Amino acid sequence: MKRKKIFAMIVLVLSVMISACASSGNKAQTENASGKPKLLKVATAGSVTTWDPSISDSTESEFLANIYEPLLWANPPGSAEEFSPALAEKWEHNEDGNVWTFTIRKGVTFHDGASLNAEAVKKSIERTIKLDRGSARIWEPVEKIEVADEYTVKFTLKSPVPLERIVSAGYAAWIMSPNVIDKDEAWFNEGREAGTGPWKLESYKPQKEVLLTKNDKYWEPLDTNFEKVFISMVGEDVVREQMLTSGQVDLTTTPVENLKTLEKNPNIQIERVNGYHNFVGFFNTKKPPLDNKLVRQALSYAVDYQAIIEVATKGEGTQAKGPVPKGLWPSDPSLPSYSFNIEKAKELLKQAGVNPADLKLTLTYASESMEEARFAPLIKEGFAKLGVTVNVEPILWNQQWEKGKGDPHAAQDIFVLQFWPSYADGYGNLKQMFGTEEKPSLNLAYWSNPQFDKLVTQAYLLSGTSKDLSKEMYVQAQKLVIDEAPAMYFFDNKEILSMNKSLIGEANNPNYTYVTFYHKLKTK
């Protein structure tokens, strides 16, 4: 009871403080002396694990994607073109698809004054490959990078993969100034950067706030009337919501619990982005009887997917059709999915010769994840209706992962994971989560299927030159991994933003997780 009272008092004090800030500073946040909009204020649940663009692999992408740029941008699903020029104006590949040539944009200046050219591109990507951290694995298909002339860079590939998707990645594809190639991570983590993007990093207070200022030397006109972006890192959902409703910030991520209330607020608008996050529950296929496909299928039928979506996302999610989220290549709406069917589950366990009362399983999930904390008990409830006992263990993500990467025979029975790809291609979902691994990393089902491996590899190699055939093979692979059920496929999640009604612009793209492109926002 004391804890509840103390928490209530904290919330009350924060509310008063926020209201006071709002009443005195509301106008100042969007206007300068001339009355023109100047400062965009944002509250984010994200944080910075590193400022190094070669290493970044987490939520700091929301900052880096506004500071740095790749060679190409991957466009949202449904766009007329799949990719748009960024630091490369033109690109092409040979008939075999193993040599790609990019024409680099002229007249672009890095924030530190250096000029963009082919050599800068080459050095940036080679730095990322050399460091071999974060998402650097995306460059594995590249055999060599050559400077053909001052503004032409040529990539020779080991195999004909779709390089467009790699160079447009939201991680490990950022181009940086040649002046910082030899700098280490500590140099960047002092709050330094050297990108070409529409915003420059003006200041950073670790895990508290970031201030961006508009790049007045950006290579194209910016359609925004904001000159600076002030981002507060606020982990508490209730505080971010109060900051928004009081007018202290213009934009924030939205907890689903309060979505209906915010939708009724006439000063707030909600934006839903069909993101590429999905949640899976890996079965430990090295432990009997989970090494039996019939048992895994039975347990997959014992999950109330719609209840999970309602509890975890308040109905905002979509039931997953395998490991590739809706809208992400090569997802397919014709793929099958499991449904909640206890009788079917009982029948399959009987076929497997397994007594449900003998099944006592341990399920782990990341204790930091609000969604997982909400729906993990529902898995236990569904299995209980089948007669299966589940012990649910919340563990800090790093500890959960370390345990999962250990000896599979001593590991958990079920590992709940939220996954999102490094770039706009479901190859990563299929290969990383279910491809055969010598040592466990992200295939936390410890599943190995040579037919699946072959289909995924062949589909990937064909995707750069024969997209239709590639898609056919990817669909076969997805049908296989759904039927074999090395995991339960729960739901694809959405990113939900709440913002001031005065803001306009399409600033979000599901290919770039956590990112709001601030230069695409302005006031009415």
**Percent of the chain whose predicted confidence (pLDDT) is above 90:** 84
| Over residues 124-143, mean pLDDT | 96
Q: Is residue 13 scored above 90 in pLDDT?
A: no
Contact 44, 234 (CB under 8 A): yes
| Over residues 90-118, mean pLDDT | 97
pLDDT at 24: 37
Contact 249, 232 (CB under 8 A): yes
pLDDT at 32: 52
Return the minimum-mean-pLDDT range out of 114-123, 381-390, 510-519: 510-519
Q: Is residue 221 scored above 70 in pLDDT?
A: yes
pLDDT at 258: 80
pLDDT at 255: 77
Q: Which residue has the tokens 């958990």?
A: 412
Instruction: Calculate Rg over the CA atoms of the chain.
Output: 24
More confident residue, 213 or 369: 213
DSSP-derived letter for residue 409 is G
DSSP H stretches of helix in 47-146: 61-67, 118-131
- What does the alpha-carbon distance between residue 202 and residue 183 come to, in Å, rounded to a whole number? 19
pLDDT at 34: 52
What is the amino acid identity at position 87?
L
- Where do the domains of the chain lie, and which CATH numbers do they carry? 2-47+215-273 (3.40.190), 67-180 (3.40.190.10), 278-492 (3.10.105.10)
pLDDT at 256: 83
The whole-chain average pLDDT of the chain stands at 92
- What does the alpha-carbon distance between residue 261 and residue 302 come to, in Å, rounded to a whole number? 33
Cα-flanking dihedrals φ and ψ of residue 328, to 5°?
-90, 125
DSSP H stretches of helix in 32-183: 61-67, 118-131, 163-167
Q: Which residues contact 398 (CB under 8 A, 6 or more apart)?
A: none
Q: Is residue 12 scored above 50 in pLDDT?
A: no
Is the omega angle on the peptide bond into residue 330 within 30 degrees of 0, that is, cis? yes
- What does the alpha-carbon distance between residue 159 and residue 157 come to, in Å, rounded to a whole number? 5
pLDDT at 304: 98
In Å, how far are 118, 123, 349, 430, 443 from 414, measured between CA atoms?
47, 42, 17, 18, 12
For residue 51, the SS3 value is coil
Residues paired with 360 in a beta bridge: 389
Q: How confident is the model at residue 311 (pLDDT cuts 50, 70, 90)?
A: very high
Q: How confident is the model at residue 120 (pLDDT cuts 50, 70, 90)?
A: very high
Per-residue model confidence as pLDDT tens digits over 263-287: 999 999 999 888 898 999 999 999 9
Neighbours of 286 (CB within 10 A): 17
DSSP-derived letter for residue 156 is E
Structure tokens at 431: 């290969």
DSSP-derived letter for residue 76 is P
Q: Is residue 29 scored above 90 in pLDDT?
A: no
More confident residue, 82 or 5: 82
| Over residues 337-346, mean pLDDT | 98
pLDDT at 35: 54
Is the omega angle on the peptide bond into residue 162 within 30 degrees of 0, that is, cis? no
Q: Is residue 341 scored above 70 in pLDDT?
A: yes
pLDDT at 19: 44
Return the minimum-mean-pLDDT range out of 7-16, 78-87, 138-147, 425-434: 7-16
H or E element, residue 17: helix 2-25
Q: Is residue 23 scored above 50 in pLDDT?
A: no
Q: How confident is the model at residue 31 (pLDDT cuts 50, 70, 90)?
A: low
In this structure, the strands spanning 251-253 and 39-44 are parallel
DSSP H stretches of helix in 132-233: 163-167, 185-188
Q: Which residues contact 146 (CB under 8 A, 6 or more apart)?
A: 122, 153, 154, 156
| Over residues 241-248, mean pLDDT | 94
Per-residue model confidence as pLDDT tens digits over 398-456: 899 999 999 999 999 999 999 999 888 999 999 999 999 999 999 999 999 999 999 99
Per-residue model confidence as pLDDT tens digits over 448-486: 999 999 999 999 999 888 999 999 999 999 999 999 999
pLDDT at 324: 97
